[in-house]
Amino acid sequence: MLKKVLIANRGEIAVRIIRACAELGIRSVAIYTEPDRYGLHVKRADESYSLGDDPLAGYLDPQRIVNLAKQVGCDAIHPGYGFLSENARFAELCEHQGITFVGPKSSVIARMGDKTQARKSMQAAGVPVTPGSDGNLDNLEDALAVAEEIGYPVMLKATSGGGGRGIRRCDSANELKSHYPRVISEATKAFGSAEVFLEKCIVNPRHIEAQVLADSQGNVIHLFERDCSIQRRNQKLIEIAPSPQITPEQRNYIGELAIRAAKAVGYENAGTVEFLVTGNQVYFMEMNTRVQVEHTITEQITGVDIVQEQLRIASGRPLRYEQQDIRHQGYAIQFRINAEDPKNNFLPSFGRVTHYFAPGGPGVRVDTAIFTGYDIPPYYDSTCLKLIVWALNWEDAIARGQRALDDMRLHGIRTTGHYYQQILAHPDFQKGQFNTSFVPDHPELLDYSVKRHPSEIALVLASAIAAHAGW
């Protein structure tokens, strides 16, 4: 088993990994830049080291992180998600320095990070992909020719893209002409590559992804699927496991496709294969070569600690489970509580958390790194906590989600919590009938009013009295 792991990340996912290390008897090492000096992951780790004043540079410097890991005696690095988690050079540096990278090999990251290579790998393995360009597009004329052949609408995508960036839907030749230079520019700035490709746009699909685990002995299993269709501008908001809107036959088929995809590229560790589903058609979209933000809901329905399994696999141990051992029970829903104002076009709402009270009770889990008095910095992702609920059936899971969202007290910033309550109350969501167009198709859900809870009023009064008394 690994002895000492440096966590090349911050915030709630760093805290999550620290907890898994503690349960396995592994020593944890945190890194931080100046805005995170008082962060929870810094306090919870066994050791913590500063990477300087710049908010981002340290988290994005693979050589410096690997050097630090060597210097402090770490035998592994866990990248979490975001930052360098899907950076093939980072994994390669670890390999060259004899540091275990908690994830797949660098060659696999590079292969699956290149969307055109990933498509070709899946086609060779018999995994269905959407019609599109055979490789990267050389110019706008090529893009127009491919679009004419497969028919509009089409999706223009950055080859190295991810996280909803570097992607545009084009409904006509004029839109493709307009978006082409914009995607090139965005891809170059965000991913350091101007390469783009094109594929058929599947209109109003369901976004379904399958969690896989694979060890170094060639064993691969899936942990069923998650439904990530509730999203805004390709950014996931609410995730559900298992999907309430696919059949058992589709569930088995998607799981088999995910295993086939992982085996085709020699995958190792935890990964997620993402699909677009329309009717009975299932199309490969991409593979995320890291732990997902929404891994929590899979843990809730299967009882498998995915982060612990990552660490065990990285230690060279075989999977503890065979496919027939994996069962799912009930439904889990994850809400990404973002520091954003939904009523103001989801404008970021960074600042000090003046009061935070976590929801609790049966079937409620909160993954976060915030606390009362914490200053949410403007340099990172806007997610401030993940609220997860579980219940034996879909109706009870929704009711528990509504109750937990109402329980939560998070003052000082605006969040997406109240907006999610509107989504849960919608009849289509309650019937499990939604797709990726749900959020844009229901702008009326943003027309809600926020009533001040008595606890918030009492808090304001107490603060005013304290200030007046000079406390």
**Which entry of 168, 290, 365, 400 is annotated as an active-site residue?**
290
| Contact between residue 313 and residue 406 where contact means Cβ atoms under 8 Å apart | no
What are the backbone angles phi and psi of residue 41, rounded to the nearest 5°?
Answer: -65, -30
E strand spans, 363-469: 364-368, 375-376, 383-391, 409-411
DSSP state for residue 99 in the 8-state scheme: P
Question: What is the chain's Cα-based Rg?
Answer: 22
How far is Cα 434 from Cα 230, in angstroms, rounded to an integer? 8
Give the residue from 319, 250, 251 showing the smallest Cα distance to 279: 250
Give the residue from 398, 404, 367, 360 showing the smallest Cα distance to 385: 367
How far is Cα 339 from Cα 414, in angstroms, rounded to an integer? 6
Structure tokens of 388?
């997860």
| Contact between residue 217 and residue 280 where contact means Cβ atoms under 8 Å apart | no
Beta bridge partners of 389: 333, 364
Tokens 């167009």: give the residue: 437
Q: How many of the other CB atoms lie within 10 Å of CB of 50? A: 13
CA atoms within 13 A on the CB side of 463: 10
How far is Cα 417 from Cα 404, in angstroms, rounded to an integer? 10
Annotated active-site residue 290? The verdict is yes
HEC string of 220-240? EEEEEEEEEEEEECCEEEEEE
How far is Cα 193 from Cα 160, in angstroms, rounded to an integer? 7
DSSP state for residue 127 in the 8-state scheme: -
State the catalytic residues.
Answer: 290
